[in-house]
Structure 1
Amino acid sequence: MQMTNFSLSQKTAVVTGAARGIGKAAAEGLAEAGADVVLVQRSGAEETKKAVESFGRTCHVIQCDLQDSDAVKAVIPEVVDRFGTIDILVNNAGIQKRHPAVDFPEEDWELVMNIQLKAVWLLSQAAGRVMTEQGSGSIISIASLQSFQGGLFIPAYASAKGAVAQLTKALANEWASKGVNVNAVAPGYVATDMNEALIEDPVRSRQIMERIPAGRWGQPEDFKGPVVFLASEAADFIHGHVLTVDGGWMGR
């Protein structure tokens, strides 16, 4: 194994939801490994853009509301028009809505599903058309522990993340033979804005910490390595895998 197998030099990567958290860390990691990066973001990607460019890489921002299917469908064609191809897609953007299941509003259900699942599908489908034609590429979707567990008060999120794991496997079955790697990363409990309510709840925060063998919440930077690995030639024989990055939570 040569370290050059982890290089992403001359690759073009697309990352959704890259303004902060795991998406920002993923974009920075990909750039550090040599990739040019396209940030797909509704707003607020300036800091990430500066970070990507600090590694000497090209960074382009596409403003897109992932609830808008027509806007989502236009993303990959714009990337290909500007860069000539797409080599890596990281489906990271996400949203969380918490309500008891009996009171869960339909509009919140649709919002979560559109961003967490439909946008992932549309972007993956469009990227897959390009990647299967060129015979190479890597699609990495951000799944969740809720791809395996049901959680509390998050029926839409759990349903969407379960579907992301299954979509990952379905696409891998079709595209592995065409040189395209489709995998997912399932974060554990990570200190991001999405988990702010849990972090600030002294009881739930304590309960969560007690189950994490690593003894800490995850940090966005913990995801640089896994994303770069799955995007690189080092992961060429990994297809349809959901990689938990959880401090040992699922093994407890």
Structure 2
Amino acid sequence: MTHPDQFDVAGTVVFVAGGGGAIGRAIGSAYAERGARVAFASQDPERVAAAAAPFADRALGIVFDATDEQECASAIDQTVDRFGRVDIIVNAIGGGAGKVLFDAQDYPRDAWDWIFELNVRGAVLPTQAAVKRMIDQGDGGKVLNICSVRAQLGIAAGYSAYVAAKGAIASLTRQWATEWAPHGINVNAISPTFVDTPQVAMLLADPDFKASLVDRIPLGRVGTTDDIVGPALFFGSSASSFVTGQILTIDGGLTACQ
């Protein structure tokens, strides 16, 4: 009996929400390098153009607001117009926690709403638009959410809204997996600890902060975007065809001993 390459993603169409950011761009680029067609989508026109440029006709840069329902529908329409379909959506929009740190008892509503708008609504709306297309296509699909270890772990640093938002993404991963399984759509999540990206560069530049973080990670370092790529390819390939509703923690062993 012969076995095809279960990790082959060539020919698939991938929509990366947050494709202008470090993690989204790394994931989208990994797919494109392996023959997938990729829509890099975010609010920053320069970043999505730069992400798509190396891949010529296999990539598309889309400028959109992931918290606007019509713009999400239009972004998926553009992807389908260009590539004929959509097979995979990667939700790599999020963050913001370090900008709005407040004690839990005083956490202001406007900051709370902003974190949820960015991290939850910014995943829900693109996914709804993509999954409607997948259901219409009738041959399954993949949803991959980028979550965080903060969905599991509290932190004494004013992160109430962020941990709640990432907890919501973890719960939605399981709920969507359950609801969309009859359509052959797999829904999973990757849950990293700190990943060395420009978004957290200021924090990691503090030697005391970095040392305290690394001391808690058994493998002795923070994550890199390369650490995210392999699992992201797995979840988008047929190798994960019987995996759904799962959250893979990529944290160098942090949660194993916390």
TM-score of the alignment, normalized to the shorter chain, above 0.5: yes
Q: Is contact 2:25–2:40 with CA below 8 Å preserved after alignment?
A: no
**How many angstroms does 1:3 deviate by?**
6.0
Whole-angstrom CA distance in 1 between matches of 2:49 and 2:135? 32
Alignment correspondent of 2:224: 219
Change in Cα spacing, 1:52 to 1:93, as seen in structure 2 (3 Å) is: farther
The superposition leaves residues 4-40 of structure 1 with CA deviations (integer Å, 9 ceiling, x where unpaired) of 2111111110112222321111011111222100011
User: Is residue 120 from structure 1 mapped to residue 133 from structure 2 by the alignment?
Assistant: no
Q: Point out the more displaced range, 37-46 or 223-232.
A: 37-46
Q: Point out the more displaced range, 217-226 or 64-73.
A: 64-73
Q: Point out the more displaced range, 74-83 or 152-161.
A: 74-83
Change in Cα spacing, 1:186 to 1:3, as seen in structure 2 (3 Å) is: farther
After the TM superposition, which residues 55-94 of structure 1 pair with which residues of structure 2 at under 5 Å, given as runs? 58-94=58-94
Aligned pairs, number: 249
Alignment correspondent of 1:26: 27
The superposition leaves residues 165-199 of structure 1 with CA deviations (integer Å, 9 ceiling, x where unpaired) of 10000010011232111000001111112223431
Please, what TM-score do these two structures have when normalized by structure 2?
0.89
The superposition leaves residues 61-104 of structure 1 with CA deviations (integer Å, 9 ceiling, x where unpaired) of 11012243332232222322332211010000113133123454
Alignment correspondent of 1:9: 10
After the TM superposition, which residues 154-165 of structure 1 pair with which residues of structure 2 at under 5 Å, given as runs? 154-165=159-170
**How many angstroms does 1:148 deviate by?**
0.7
Q: What's the % identity of the aligned pairs?
A: 33
User: Is residue 48 from structure 1 mapped to residue 69 from structure 2 by the alignment?
Assistant: no
Contiguous gaps of at least 5 residues in structure 1: none
Whole-angstrom CA distance in 2 between matches of 1:51 and 1:224? 18
Alignment correspondent of 2:141: 137
Contiguous gaps of at least 5 residues in structure 2: none
Alignment correspondent of 1:168: 173
Root-mean-square deviation (Å): 1.8
Whole-angstrom CA distance in 2 between matches of 1:205 and 1:128? 39
Q: Is contact 2:41–2:62 with CA below 8 Å preserved after alignment?
A: yes
Q: Secondary structure at the match of 1:214?
A: coil
Whole-angstrom CA distance in 1 between matches of 2:142 and 2:192? 19
Q: Is contact 2:17–2:126 with CA below 8 Å preserved after alignment?
A: no
Change in Cα spacing, 1:103 to 1:73, as seen in structure 2 (3 Å) is: farther
Whole-angstrom CA distance in 2 between matches of 1:220 and 1:3? 28
**How many angstroms does 1:217 deviate by?**
0.9
Amino acid paired to 2:40? L
